[in-house]
Chains A and B, each alone.
Chain A
Amino acid sequence: DTAVSQTPKYLVTQMGNDKSIKCEQNLGHDTMYWYKQDSKKFLKIMFSYNNKELIINETVPNRFSPKSPDKAHLNLHINSLELGDSAVYFCASSPQGTVYGYTFGSGTRLTVV
């Protein structure tokens, strides 16, 4: 049973398109995150939700919009995709707060052509 699952695993799309990435966790965690990992492997937080409430909204283009319909799901919608959006996007979850660390999903490799 996958604890944090993301779909799709790979996404290749043209510039200007709109796409969504879905994330679901079955760990009963209260907090979920979206991270972007660039080619240099640095993990950059984008958003975080705690019990469906947005608690972290880092400086990302407003073309990126998260949605959390319930505490087990956190989706990421990206409008008007650009070449620079190409990266691996990771979803993660944790019990409330950061005391116990995060569990990551397997990642979505987004390639914009």
Chain B
Amino acid sequence: QKEVEQNSGPLSVPEGAIASLNCTYSDRGSQSFFWYRQYSGKSPELIMSIYSNGDKEDGRFTAQLNKASQYVSLLIRDSQPSDSATYLCAVSRDSNYQLIWGAGTKLIIKP
């Protein structure tokens, strides 16, 4: 079992719809959770972090964390073609100096 799992996609969503990206993790001691966006040929960029159960909203992005079920998700409202990218989920324990990465989900927003 991989430590952090994501559906590789591609996930195709029409413009203006809600894109839903999911991530599951195996380490119950995980404390910090991150979503990164990576455009083709570019470096990963941090877009959301979440540390406690529930929802965290930032503009069109909402991160959702459920530690009991060991999943974290990212919702993108009013999806735009510029949201087309690979989204990487990363997880860590606070005492560790290392993030554990998922393989990423490729998101395509169709105009």
Given A41-B38, A106-B43, answer yes or no on A98-B103 (Cβ-Cβ < 8 Å).
no
Central interface residue in A50, A102, A107, by most chain B CB within 10 Å: A102
Report A52 CB to chain B, min CB distance, Å.
14
Cβ of B94 within 8 Å of any chain A Cβ, yes or no, is yes
CA distance in complex: A97, B95 (Å): 7
On chain B, the residues within 8 Å of A55 by CB distance are 97
Cβ of A111 within 8 Å of any chain B Cβ, yes or no, is no
Cβ of B25 within 8 Å of any chain A Cβ, yes or no, is no
Beta-carbon contacts of B87-103 to A below 8 Å, as 1s and 0s? 01010111111110101
Number of A interface residues at 8 Å Cβ cutoff, please give it. Answer: 22
- Which residue in B43, B45, B86, B94 is a CB contact (below 8 Å) of A99? B94
* Contact between A48 and B43, CB atoms less than 8 A apart: no
Cβ of B46 within 8 Å of any chain A Cβ, yes or no, is yes
Central interface residue in A43, A45, A103, by most chain B CB within 10 Å: A43
Report B29 CB to chain A, min CB distance, Å.
13
* Contact between A97 and B38, CB atoms less than 8 A apart: no
Cβ of B49 within 8 Å of any chain A Cβ, yes or no, is yes
* Contact between B32 and A104, CB atoms less than 8 A apart: no
CA distance in complex: A90, B51 (Å): 25
Cβ of B44 within 8 Å of any chain A Cβ, yes or no, is yes
CA distance in complex: A45, B90 (Å): 12
Cβ of A105 within 8 Å of any chain B Cβ, yes or no, is yes
* Contact between B104 and A41, CB atoms less than 8 A apart: yes
On chain B, the residues within 8 Å of A99 by CB distance are 32, 51, 92, 94
Cβ of B60 within 8 Å of any chain A Cβ, yes or no, is no
Given A100-B49, A101-B34, A101-B49, answer yes or no on A43-B97 (Cβ-Cβ < 8 Å).
no
Report A103 CB to chain B, min CB distance, Å.
7
* Contact between A98 and B86, CB atoms less than 8 A apart: no
A-B contact pairs, 15 of them (CB 8 A): A41-B86, A42-B101, A43-B44, A97-B95, A97-B96, A97-B97, A98-B32, A98-B97, A99-B32, A100-B49, A101-B32, A101-B90, A103-B46, A105-B43, A106-B43
